[in-house]
Structure 1
Amino acid sequence: MIHILVADDDIHIRELLRHVLQHEGYAVFEAADGNEASSVLSREQIHLAVIDVMMPGKDGLQLCSEIRQDYGFPVILLTAKDQLPDKEKGYTAGTDDYVTKPFEPQELVFRIKALLRRYQMVNSQVIKLNDTVIDAKNYMVHCGDHMFMLPMKEFELLTQLASFPDRTFTREELIQLIWGADFEGDDRTVDVHIKRLRERFADMTEDFSIRTVRGVGYKLEAVKK
């Protein structure tokens, strides 16, 4: 299920968007200000954020910059300001889209779906990293002229990282996502599987790399060509 963060200090906007987005089948996480939104991001896996610009404490532009720096999912900014300089600030902060209030909820839904398609998150069965293709439906990896299958946990780990390029996952998050909450081992399991993935692809492709984020976890970076 796609998880959407709605950050707005207007409770009526949050209630409206919760109703509309849940009707579309999305899970909705709410925050009344930027600081609360940061707290949600630290504990939940979010796939897209709808953020009001004018919020108390940490405002929407600051939150957008934080998301762009630390995560890899799309952002839509909501604002009552529709002047070009205001939009410039939003795009400079890293937003993917910009919606002015008042807005039609269904139009926002259209924009959300378009962004999710662009980020290959909705019903994504094929993930492309330049010439490397991960076929999630058939559990296959195509790497240039080579096609092969990985052990299941390695495949699931690679797919999870590749679905969110440039997003850092903690070891604890990866344990929860790949091995489940009832896993009785420790997070060194993640390190072992990451090492195996690196070894498998080291001499095969330069399309992507799995980076260690010291003291935190791992992220996958696709090489720009």
Structure 2
Amino acid sequence: MGGYPKVFSQFSVSPQTHFNWAADNEKKTISPLKGIYSMQKLKGIKILIIDDEPNILEFLEMGLLNEGFEVQTAADGMTGVTLAKQFHPHLVILDIMMPGMDGFEVCRMLKKSENVSIIMLTAKDEVEDRVKGLTIGADDYMAKPFSFEELLARIHARIRNQFPTLLGEVVMGPFRLDDRRKEIQLHDKVLELSPTEYELLKFLILNQGLVLSKAMILDKVWGYDFVGDDNIVEVYIRSLREKLGDKEHRLIRTLRGSGYRMDLL
């Protein structure tokens, strides 16, 4: 996939990054992510961007509006919290390092009052910041610089996981997922899945392209209170591969030492 420029920190944003957005957008190919949902459906999804860097704020606003989302922006934490109470976003893109109320405090306040997914941004890729952000309720984390395409993929993953009914049926590659019926089709054929197999396959599909560790899978599919051998994940992955006809592991790939990744054909 190509066409999206990099999003940089305040100290390395070039004028071309945002002034040439329209020109870049005309030249780029349409992202496969955009083909998953209609523009009409995306217009119902609201995103709030809170960042004190004007270039990044403008760039992300233009990019997300272009993708069909409803977007509001705030240049500081307090304004962001106030705007969230009025706008009620489904997802917030939140910078950590801001003067006054920083991103951590904003995250705490939003999680207390809003049903919202939060992706935190920072100029520092430090484990301590990531752990702190995730501990207080952030759902995902990205360090600057980052690509717009990766951010877009993470936004779609968060929306699909937290607000699946907003999008109704989700079509990704050869799969059609209907969460209301708890049904997954492969090439228009309904798969016979147990409840656990359904949740596991759904988790893999909605996070396609991302590496998922056994610990992540256990937490999301079996729950935080699961007590048992993590090899149960391998057992269910093996069962899914059989039902998908994935003998060569082209759909569900094993990444030794890391976990699993769904690659859609």
TM norm structure 2? 0.47
Shift of 1:44: 1.1
Alignment of 1:41-52 (within 5 A): 41-52=84-95
Query: Which residue in the other structure is 2:168 paired with?
Result: 124
Relative to 1, partners in 2 of residues 1:45 and 1:121: Cα closer, same or farther, differing over 3 Å? farther
1:4 to 47, 50, 73: 47
How far the C-alpha of 1:124 sits from its partner, in A, is 2.9
Shift >4 Å, 4+ stretches: 125-128
CA distance in 2, matches of 1:124, 1:74: 18
Structure 2 gap segments, 5+ residues each: 1-43, 170-177, 183-265
Report the aligned-residue RMSD. 2.0
Instruction: After TM superposition, give the deviation of residue 127 of structure 1 in Å.
Output: 6.6
1:87 maps to 2:87: no
Q: Helix, strand or coil: the match of 2:156?
A: helix
- 1:1-225 equivalences in 2 (<5 Å): 1-119=44-162, 120=164, 122-124=166-168
**What runs of 5+ residues in structure 1 fail to find an aligned partner?**
134-225
Aligned residues: 131
Deviation, structure 1 residue 43 = 1.1
Alpha-carbon offset, residue 45 of structure 1: 2.2
| Contact preservation (8 Å) 2:50, 2:94 | yes
Q: Quick one: distance in 2 between partners of 1:58 and 1:93? A: 15
Contact 1:62 1:93 (8 Å CA) reproduced: no
- Report Cα offsets for 1:174-196 as digits up to 9, x if no partner: xxxxxxxxxxxxxxxxxxxxxxx
Matched residue of 2:94: which SS? strand
Task: Give 1 or 2: higher strand fraction.
Answer: 1
CA contact (8 A) 2:88 2:114 kept: no
Partner Cα distance (1:27, 1:66) in 2 = 22
Three-state SS of the structure 2 residue aligned to 1:98 is: strand
AA in 2 matched with 1:114: A
Q: How far off is 1:31 after superposition?
A: 0.3
> In 2, distance between residues paired with 1:127 and 1:62?
34
Task: State the AA in 2 paired with 1:73.
Answer: V
Q: Kindly tell me: are residues 4 and 107 of structure 1, through their superposed partners in 2, closer, same or farther at Cα, counting changes over 3 Å?
A: same
Shift of 1:77: 0.1
SS state of the match for residue 49, structure 2? strand
Aligned equivalents of 1:100, 1:8: Cα separation in 2: 13
